[in-house]
Amino acid sequence: MNGSAAARPGPRRTVLRTQLVAPPPRPHALPRTSLTDRLGAVSAPGRLTLVVAGAGWGKTTLVASWVRAEPGPAAWFSVDATDSDPVRFWGGVVAALDGVVPGLISRSAQLLGAPGTSTATDVVPALLDELAALDAPVTLVVDDYHLADSAEVHRGVALLVTHLPATLRLVLVSRTEPPLPLARLRGQGRVAELGVEDLRLSAAESAELLAAEADATGTVWAPGDATRLHARTEGWIIGVHLGVLSRRGHSATAPSGPSPLATAGPDDERARHLVDYLRGEVLRPLPDDLRRVLRRTAILDAFRADLAVAVTGQPDAADLLARAEREQLFVVPLDVRGDWFRFHHLFAEVLRDDLARTEPDLVPQMHTRAAQWLAAHDQPVAAVRHALAGDDPELTAALVARHAPVLTRIGQVQTALSWFRTLGDDVCRADPRLAAARALTGAHTGRPHEIVSWAAAAERALDSPTPGRPQLTPGETTAARIEIAMLRWAAAIFAGEFAASRRHVDEALRLFPAGAGAPSGFMLLALGVARFRTGEADASWATLVEAESVAEDRGEPLAVVAARGLRALQAALGGRLEEAARLAASAEAVAEQNGLVEHFNTATLRAAQGWVALHTGRQRKAVGLFRRALELVQRGGLRVEVAEVLTALAMAEDRLGREAAAREHREEAERVVATCPDPGYMWADPRAPAHRPSASPAHNGVVLSPRQAEILRLLAAALTTVEIGERLQLSPRTVEAHLRTLYRKLGVRSRTAAARYAVEHGLTDGE
């Protein structure tokens, strides 16, 4: 039921379109029909296919050609350097699959990044279930898997490959063998592998490539050149291409000079020689303006024309890069529209090295330009990455402070924490914006002690500014103090200190500038929650209504869900069951529309639905709803709410006659409440007699069991024996047996008399 700004979800990760598209075919590309046929033969649903080789062996080109020729849906995800964060990685996988089989991904997408969930233990199992339900197989290619350098990513992928359903054909393309349970899969015959020996060009293929290049470019080759080139490159595709490139404009003699083409050995040794050759034979002869724009653009993982112009400072950058592409200077297209490109990885390495040697002072400035452009074009993760490498500390701090909380709200905690580690604790403590962002990260990840310590650091930074640091404006200072008050509200909510939570939200509202309009829906929600916990039911209801209205106007769906869910619970507690059901259903609809059904703040609407079921005789339904509420609220680490749901679950179990389970839930609830310094008003309190096992007194001290008390309530509601049995999932004969026992205990002889007894003793709608 936490409704603070600390609980707000941000938009799900927007995966770059270029990451979800197989690279288009290159001009004059060599068709490798036999190899694509082989790839199609070994790749099968329910089987992992690994394509592993170093740079320059044509892995991606091969798999992309195969995918274009294969029938059926095929999803493509190219991993980039920021995808070591497990939520970003699986966000890319989910987006890729959803793009080719719309509607396939539902619960896994909802779980992705929800507070308190894990990609390996929550998202991947849900994804496996969804894939298994497909009617026909789908192919998923994950390219550049070696860039996903994270134990948590590998753990999730290991689970996926171990339990691959018969509806998924998974292809991983990597420079190195991934740390997956490959030995076991090999023993089971569930993995197919292609490596360097498979990708190596044959002599005929090398000759075919040279002939195609000669036709396209007018390059002159002497007899026997193809044989010599193939021998020197040993079929290494990029080596052959480089041999072709080096011949353009030269006489018809065999390739000569210091060249990687004469080098045999491991991939890394080949790469070193190729780097030297690229530097001396390809880059150095280029015109100065072309070489300059290439090396400056190389700081970017991917680029398009306007980004290159902004970063390089050269108005003609777009024309020069187009020339580089036409001349096949290792410029790789990333989409079919020809908007985005990257350099071949080895060529990019050479260009960056050339930049560091020739224009070292310009490098930080270009990183800053890249950060500014990317931030303005909604690519915050890439923007911060460049800002950290740039020369503008103020821009870096502003970007991290703004985007770190957004990332942690959607589960990309590792990325945000890596930014803070790069900046260092001292820098974060000296800047109130960064300290507040660190505190928000603690709130989003359920670490109250971090909320408290970093909120205090933010306040100290405001009270004692660090000399030389940019000072906040009065408006920014007020906003920061409001944020600190709301952070302390969140910490109090987590800890179960509700009197303190009320003080903190009151302080935030006191600081809110007059004439600035209404506070946010989240701030009003926080006030509504505080009033609910301090027993101000009517005031809480009115505040929650206002919070809903403001949140709807401002596009804050989680605040709408949380406020409406709490109102549904209040209505249920007040016996207005139809209104409660209507409010809960409305809150549920908003949650579904906005991808929030797995957020822990939806626990309140589930609890309201459970309370309605509990008081309309649907005990098994109530148990299911309370268990769902418990699953959700435990993710949020909210102690009081956990105790309440456990108590309500115990009440439902009691009514089903499951005394041992009810006792276990109630004892756990009591232990949780004991850790809360000030739990305030609890709608289901394990310490309250009214919420303990039913002890409905009959005449002469007779006590009814929970099941008997429930049957009596349904009897008073004029339900027939069959209807009572349907509600409680009992046979009519069992219901009649309970009725006979009831009549005997109550000293009555008919249904009418028993119903009258229930009304007279207030047993029609109590516990």
- 84, 154 contact by CB (below 8 A): no
SS3 193: strand
Residue 263 reports pLDDT greater than 60: no
Tens digit of each residue's pLDDT (9 = 90 or more) over 453-479: 999 999 999 988 877 666 788 888 998
Q: What is the mean pLDDT of residues 308-336?
A: 83
Residue 248 reports pLDDT greater than 70: no
Residue of 690, 677, 680, 679 lying closest to 650 (CA atoms): 690
pLDDT tier at 758, thresholds 50, 70, 90: confident
Token match 């080098």: residue?
A: 263
Q: What is the mean pLDDT of residues 533-552?
A: 93
Percent of the chain with pLDDT over 70: 88
Spatial distance between the Cα atoms of 28 and 214, rounded to a whole number of angstroms: 10
Tens digit of each residue's pLDDT (9 = 90 or more) over 370-414: 999 999 998 999 999 999 999 889 999 999 999 998 888 888 888
Residue 269 reports pLDDT greater than 80: no
- 764, 617 contact by CB (below 8 A): no
Q: What is the mean pLDDT of residues 105-124?
A: 87
User: What pLDDT sits at residue 432?
Assistant: 92
Can you read off the two tokens belonging to residue 354? 């050339």
Residue 258 reports pLDDT greater than 60: no
User: What pLDDT sits at residue 115?
Assistant: 83
User: What pLDDT sits at residue 246?
Assistant: 60
| Residue scoring higher pLDDT (695 or 601) | 601
Task: Write out the E strands in 613-692.
Answer: none
User: What pLDDT sits at residue 760?
Assistant: 66
Specify the range with the lowest mean pLDDT, choosing from 402-411, 543-552, 743-752: 743-752
Other C-beta atoms within 10 Å of 328: how many? 17
Specify the range with the lowest mean pLDDT, choosing from 204-218, 246-260, 481-495, 695-709: 246-260
Q: What is the mean pLDDT of residues 731-738?
A: 84
- 293, 283 contact by CB (below 8 A): no
User: What pLDDT sits at residue 700?
Assistant: 39
Tens digit of each residue's pLDDT (9 = 90 or more) over 488-506: 999 999 888 988 999 999 9
Tens digit of each residue's pLDDT (9 = 90 or more) over 152-189: 999 999 999 999 999 999 999 998 899 999 999 999 99
User: What pLDDT sits at residue 33?
Assistant: 86
Residue of 88, 14, 84, 82 lying closest to 378 (CA atoms): 14
How high does pLDDT run on average in the chain?
Answer: 85
- 195, 53 contact by CB (below 8 A): yes
Residue 544 reports pLDDT greater than 70: yes
